Amino acid sequence: MNHSVKIVHELPNRLRVKLSLLKEYPKLDKTYLEIYFTQQAGIRTVRLNPYAATIILDYDGRMETKTAFLQACQSLTPENCPQYAMTIAPRNPPDIGRVLISGLTLLITPWLKPPFKALLTYFMIAPTLGKAAHTLLQEGIKVEVLDGLAVGLAAWRGSYFTAMTTNSLLALGEYLQEKTDYQSDALLRHLLHPLPSKAWVERDGTFIEIPSDHITEGDVVMISVGDMIPVDGKVIEGIAEVNQASLTGENIPVRKEIGDRVMSGTVLESGRLKIQARRVGENTTTSRIRQFIEESLNKRSSAQCVAETLADQRVLYTLGLGGLVYVLTRDWQRVAAVFLVDYACAIKLGTPVAIKSAMYRGATHGVLFRGGQAIENLQQADTLIFDKTGTLTTGLLETTDVISFDERKWTKEQLLALAASVEEHTTHPIAEAVVQTAKEAHLKHRDHEDVDYLVAHGLTTQMEGQHLIVGSRHFLTEHHRISLTKYNKLIKSLESEGKTLLYLALEKQAIGVIALRDHLRAETPAVLAKLRQLGFERFILLTGDQKDKALALAEQLKMDDVYYECVPESKAKVVKELQAKGYRVAFVGDGVNDAPALISAHVGIAMPRGADLARATASIVLLADHLETLLYAKELSNKTVEMIEQHFVISTAANSMVALGAAMGWLSPISTALLHNGSTIAVLLNSLSGVSLKHSRLEEWKEKLNTLYHAIEAE
């Protein structure tokens, strides 16, 4: 592409570059370009000014980062970045025109003769009066009615300058409130990462470039350095470093190799990969995040509903105070000043802005909240239930033993091939571990009939005319009446080592067992200790493990209670039993069988490796695969609710003082409007930025947790 890239200003760690492409193609998606650059190693922040055709870069100061950035600028073309952005509920930015016109007419009002002054005043305040009348007729007494009364009284008394000034301040306040709300939505729009418009896909043995929306499941996609991955899939060839910052908030690239999963919206920094597409189009991680956020904006929390109710109640208080002032003083100026004291704005508008801001902060750190209610419920939760596998443990199982119950008939290799041939039809961690072990051993696939899958129990099929069963112990013993009594000693020995067991049976006869081991996350003990400090009073472990193994783990992690040998349907039952006792329950899970519990809990939290159904039913989804993300979610929710409560107290106190000053005649209507709007804007701006935790907070936690972890180990 023949466009110029020129450094126009340079300071340590900061660079301003003029990119002619921005001027030549003004419709290029600014959000996409900012994401494209910030996902490159060493780059901290990027700001684009399309009108000046410049990019302002904040980076680590390294020459290689600067060189890579300039090369990325040079390689940009209109074809490889979209000319439109995905948006949430598209809306126009607030119009400043009314503010400017109000200000201009205010300046000329003193110079006009009384008849023209009156005419101009009534013309300018007509929209405010009309809005007040419409609100009164349609919705009853709201803040708009007070505003109309205030400016109307001033104009009726002939105080035209006061009426115009008040009207201008109302217009300015309304504009700033809309602007703040618009910016809070813009924060969330920034999270919606556009996928590349084209990709290289294998067709008939060669790679051709096709539109990304033409990719289908099973296609093999080639990803090179700098490419954004357009699909969710599995690496089938190559080794590379992938930057997942857009999804997890972590800037450190992650190594990906054969067998690893990759997600759409992430960027390949080095190496090359061939990926087999598993999810495409609207089913990709990026598209689901967009849907998730769009849903979230339409969900109102109980805090928002309460805020609106309280705000509307305080309109009546203001109206009553104004009436009392008139009865006692007969001073219409005091009454007009009182009517300009509006409790509603700060209370009603500050809450949704704080929630949207928190949703944005969470998403940039790998936490997706499904609306404000999820934030509020997590803050209120006092009991945390963990479904062990994939939450407290990594969920990445390894096969440790393959044991034949009759080695004369079945070798270890034959058993493993049987199990893998059936398990490849599911995405459960046990299935993936067994299939991977069989692949590494280069075992051949065994043909079979259609597979019947009973969630969280096992699978059955016909293989060479015989009935094959692969699954858990209770699946064999309870569902199919197959006895394992003669193998009890062996089974107990394997379970005592903390292993998960997968059984095989053919024609009602048990033929072998495969043992797998999961690993406790290194950060688990320290994270649990910190979560207690953040407000959780009870920790409960749910596991399908046998009693001895479950009790040992519960003691190690200092759990308050443990439920062992759990079957899927019992998880939701446990949640409901605890809720019936008055506990507010948060449930952390990742499997298909966790969905009922995730729905039943006050707040359901899904891990990133979880099944689609788990993520679909959870009210919070963690995108980064470590428990520190749960810590961030909890602290963020605590701070957000705390901020909302503080804003209520502060705004009520501030407006009460202003109301007192107005009622006593110490404040004019103009002063009252200035003070009221000032306090409202302060609350809104604080809501927009106040819940921002330090960007390095996760790293800070990791250091603290590491220290705490070693201290716990020492005990």
Q: Report domain extents, the chain.
A: 5-80, 97-188+298-354+638-689, 198-283, 367-394+520-623, 398-517
Nearest to 266 by CA among 296, 235, 295: 235
In whole angstroms, give the CA distance from residue 665 to residue 335: 9
CATH 3.20.20.450 at 367-394+520-623, yes or no: no
Nearest to 227 by CA among 207, 206, 242, 215: 242
The two three-digit tokens of residue 153, written as one number? 């009284």
Q: Which residues pair with 43 in a beta bridge?
A: 59
Sheet holding 198-203, edge to edge: 206-211, 198-203, 220-223, 273-279, 232-237, 261-262
Q: DSSP letters of 90-147?
A: --PPPP-HHHHHHHHHHHHGGGS-HHHHHHHHHHHHHHHHHHHHHHHHHT-S-HHHHH
Return the pLDDT at 711.
44
In whole angstroms, give the CA distance from residue 521 to residue 394: 6
Q: DSSP letters of 448-517?
A: --PPEEETTTEEEEEETTEEEEEE-HHIIIIIS----GGGHHHHHHHHHTTEEEEEEEETTEEEEEEEEE
At residue 303 the predicted structure's pLDDT band, cuts being 50, 70 and 90, is low
Return the pLDDT at 514.
96
243 sits in which H/E element = strand 240-243
Return the pLDDT at 470.
94
**β-strand 585-589 against 383-387: which pairing, if any?**
parallel
In whole angstroms, give the CA distance from residue 63 to residue 74: 17
High-pLDDT (> 90) share of the chain, % = 19
The gap from C-alpha 681 to its chain's centroid, in whole angstroms, comes to 27
Name residue, tokens 């903390």: 498
User: If you average pLDDT over residues 393-403, what whole number do you get?
Assistant: 87
pLDDT at 246 over 60: yes
* pLDDT tens-digit readout, 55-83: 888 888 888 888 888 887 877 766 555 44
Return the pLDDT at 550.
83
The two three-digit tokens of residue 627, written as one number? 């428990």
Calculate the alpha carbon distances from 614 to 44, 142, 605 in Å. Answer: 33, 42, 9
Backbone angles phi and psi of 442, in degrees to 5: 55, 40
The gap from C-alpha 215 to its chain's centroid, in whole angstroms, comes to 27
Return the pLDDT at 500.
84
Residue 378 in 3-state DSSP?
helix
Nearest to 308 by CA among 337, 349, 279, 273: 349
Sign of the alpha-carbon dihedral angle for 230, 231, 234, 236: negative
CATH code of domain 398-517: 3.40.1110.10
Q: Quick one: fold of 198-283?
A: 2.70.150
pLDDT at 194 over 70: no
Lowest mean pLDDT among 200-204, 311-315, 626-630: 311-315
Angle subtended at Cα 71 by Cα 70 and Cα 72, rounded to the nearest 5 degrees: 90
Q: Between 684 and 582, whose confidence is greater?
A: 582
Contact 212, 218 (CB under 8 A): no
User: If you average pLDDT over residues 505-526, what whole number do you get?
Assistant: 90
DSSP state of 446: P
Kindly report the average pLDDT of the chain as a whole number. 80
Q: Between 546 and 222, whose confidence is greater?
A: 222
User: If you average pLDDT over residues 566-585, what whole number do you get?
Assistant: 86
235 sits in which H/E element = strand 232-237
DSSP state of 194: P
Number of helices and strands in the chain (H, E): 25, 26
Q: Using alpha carbons only, how large is the chain's radius of gyration in Å?
A: 31
Length of the chain: 715
Return the pLDDT at 709.
41
Return the pLDDT at 401.
94
Q: DSSP letters of 293-307?
A: HHHHHT---HHHHHH
Among 335-339, 376-380, 494-498, the range of highest mean pLDDT: 376-380
Nearest to 347 by CA among 289, 383, 303, 386: 303
Calculate the alpha carbon distances from 445 to 236, 434, 463 in Å. Answer: 18, 13, 12
Q: Kindly give, in sequence order, each residue whose CB lies less than 8 Å from that of residue 680, ignoring residues fewer than 6 positions away.
A: 173, 177, 342, 345, 346, 349, 651
**β-strand 43-49 against 14-19: which pairing, if any?**
unpaired
Backbone angles phi and psi of 690, in degrees to 5: -70, -25
In whole angstroms, give the CA distance from residue 467 to residue 532: 49
Supply the pTM of this predicted model: 0.61
Q: Kindly give, in sequence order, each residue whose CB lies less than 8 Å from that of residue 244, ignoring residues fewer than 6 positions away.
A: 250, 253, 254, 263, 266
In whole angstroms, give the CA distance from residue 262 to residue 256: 8
User: If you average pLDDT over residues 230-246, what whole number do you get?
Assistant: 85
Return the pLDDT at 702.
45
In whole angstroms, give the CA distance from residue 139 to residue 133: 10
User: If you average pLDDT over residues 596-612, what whole number do you get?
Assistant: 79
Name residue, tokens 């080095």: 270
pLDDT at 614 over 80: no
Pick the CATH number of 5-80 from 3.30.70, 1.10.3470, 1.10.10, 1.10.1760: 3.30.70
Return the pLDDT at 301.
57
Q: Which amino acid is at 303?
A: A
DSSP state of 340: T
Return the pLDDT at 359.
82
Nearest to 181 by CA among 355, 344, 301: 355
Contact 153, 335 (CB under 8 A): yes
The two three-digit tokens of residue 206, written as one number? 């060669």
Return the pLDDT at 416.
95
